[in-house]
A and B are shown apart, each in its own frame.
Chain A
Amino acid sequence: RKEVEQDPGPFNVPEGATVAFNCTYSNSASQSFFWYRQDCRKEPKLLMSVYSSGNEDGRFTAQLNRASQYISLLIRDSKLSDSATYLCVVKTPQGAQKLVFGQGTRLTINP
């Protein structure tokens, strides 16, 4: 079983729609959680950290369920510019600095 699992998609949704991505992780001792965004042929960039209480940044909402070892990302009112691959990332307790990436979920927003 992979340490971090995501639905690879692709997700194709119309502009303005709400889309949700899910991610599960296997190590219950994982310390912190993130969503990274990666545009085609570009490097990953941090989109947002995921806090235990859930957090929101504009149109983006991240949720963490430690009991179920589950992370989610919700994008409301999607824009064409949201088209990218979204990587679920978990920081393991091992050395506290190792990021483990999911394979990513590819999202395409259609006009």
Chain B
Amino acid sequence: EAGVVQSPRYKIIEKKQPVAFWCNPISGHNTLYWYRQNLGQGPELLIRYENEEAVDDSQLPKDRFSAERLKGVDSTLKIQPAELGDSAVYLCASSLVEDRVQVVYNEQFFGPGTRLTVL
């Protein structure tokens, strides 16, 4: 079974340029997450989707970041304009959440990430 797919794997841009990341979750997974991981730190959640609805975007810097998950499958994360401090690895993860109460231990599967360098 294919895992979470992300592209591109690497991206180098100059500051103030726009950039977009794409994620294809595991087939059948209804919940999708975008995380940012800075060097030497653990991943931090940016946004979580349940199907096509963004249910938690409290950590998403909305002045420059946007995300969408059309049709509840693939997702894109965009930064416009990028800043030097946005250099990080952007990880997408997915999980199957069938019951909010029951599923406490459901596993999130991560993609390989996109390593962004802003010059």
Contact = CB atoms under 8 A, between A and B. Distances in A.
B112 A31 contact: no
Interface stretch (A58-66, A68-76, A90-98): A90-98
A44 interface: yes
A57 interface: no
A107 interface: no
B25 interface: no
Given A43-B111, A97-B97, A91 B43 contact: no
B90 to A, nearest CB: 11
Contacts of A87: 42-43
Given A32-B105, A95-B55, A43 B42 contact: no
Interface string A1-39: 000100010000000000000000000000110000000
Given A8-B40, A43-B113, A104-B42, A31 B104 contact: yes
Interface in B31-69: 31, 33, 40-45, 48, 55-56
A interface, size bucket: 20 to 34
Contacts of B43: 44, 87, 99, 101
A45 B3 CA distance: 12
B14 interface: no
Contacts of B44: 101
B105 A49 contact: yes
B42 A103 contact: yes
A46 B101 CA distance: 21
B84 to A, nearest CB: 21
B100 interface: yes
A31 B104 CA distance: 7
A97 B44 CA distance: 13
B91 interface: yes
Interface of B: 31, 33, 40-45, 48, 55-56, 91, 95, 97, 100-101, 103-105, 107-108, 110-113
